[in-house]
């Protein structure tokens, strides 16, 4: 297993970064932010995730262990493969992504190429308690992510029923937004009981 690679960035070929280690070039797929922060002809240390299948041996590279850890968490979500996880990492910093997941901001996650509503909801549901935010940071993220939720009539109805804002927004996660406000409220109340 390859854990890290240290060497010079020899080339950037499309989405592939080639790191030269003693004359051997390793091709790495990287998140957009890491790709942009790996200057050509500079010595770097890259943390590696190996994806090996029958006829595939891809190397995914990350500048930090934090980003690699988040990538691995995303891979644990049903329906998220390495390319999709890389696309999700490409929509923002690790902190922004963790805040979006903790704050149930599926719209932000849907900003990634190839990520639909259902996958974004699964990411939130499966990872919101695992993204490693501190309790106070998580509460802030929920409140920040729910600014749009304040405009939602169903969320407003739950607030009138005594829910606090983060709970009202969380209750709406996974409920089809095309349903009527009344039906969304009923489903949220059913899911909470």
Contact indicator for 109, 121 with CB cutoff of 8 Å: no
Q: What is the pLDDT of residues 122-138, one digit of tens each?
A: 999 999 888 755 333 43
Number of domains in the chain: 3
Look up residue 10 and give its two tokens: 């020899």
Residue with tokens 């500048």, as numbered in its chain: 63
> Of 145, 167, 182, which residue sits at a domain end?
145
Burial letters for 86-98: b for 16+ Cβ neighbours within 10 Å, e otherwise?
bbbbbbbebeebb
Same domain, 127 and 141: yes
Range of the domain at 70: 65-145
> Is pLDDT larger for residue 167 or for residue 145?
167
Residues 160-187 have a mean pLDDT of 79
107 — pLDDT class (breaks 50, 70, 90)? very high
Q: What is the pLDDT of residues 14-56, one digit of tens each?
A: 889 999 999 999 999 999 888 888 888 888 999 999 998 888 8
Q: How far apart are CA 170 and CA 104, in angstroms?
A: 7
> Of 42, 63, 84, which residue sits at a domain end?
63
Same domain, 87 and 139: yes
pLDDT at residue 150 tops 50: no
> Is pLDDT larger for residue 17 or for residue 191?
17
* DSSP string for 44-72: EEEEEEEEEETTEEEEEEESSHHHHHHHH
> Of 63, 84, 102, which residue sits at a domain end?
63
146 — pLDDT class (breaks 50, 70, 90)? very low
Provide the whole-model pTM: 0.66
pLDDT at residue 142 tops 50: no
């Amino acid at each position: 297993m390859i854990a890290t690679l240290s060497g010079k960035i020899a080339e950037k070929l499309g989405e592939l970064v080639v790191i030269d280690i003693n004359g051997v070039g390793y091709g790495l797929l990287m998140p957009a932010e890491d790709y942009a922060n790996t200057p050509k002809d500079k010595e770097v240390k890259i943390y590696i995730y190996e994806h090996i299948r029958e006829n595939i041996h891809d190397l995914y590279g990350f500048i930090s262990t934090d980003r690699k850890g988040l990538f691995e968490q995303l891979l644990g979500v049903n329906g998220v493969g390495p390319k999709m996880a890389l696309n999700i990492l490409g929509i923002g910093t690790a902190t922004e992504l963790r805040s979006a997941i903790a704050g149930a901001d599926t719209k932000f996650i849907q900003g990634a190429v190839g990520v639909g509503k259902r996958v974004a909801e699964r990411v939130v549901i499966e990872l919101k308690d695992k993204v490693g935010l501190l309790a106070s940071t998580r509460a802030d993220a929920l409140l920040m992510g729910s600014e749009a939720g304040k405009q939602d009539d169903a969320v407003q109805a739950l607030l009138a029923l005594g829910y606090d804002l983060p709970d009202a927004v969380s209750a709406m996660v996974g409920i089809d937004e095309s349903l009527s406000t009344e039906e969304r409220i009923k489903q949220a109340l059913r899911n909470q009981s």
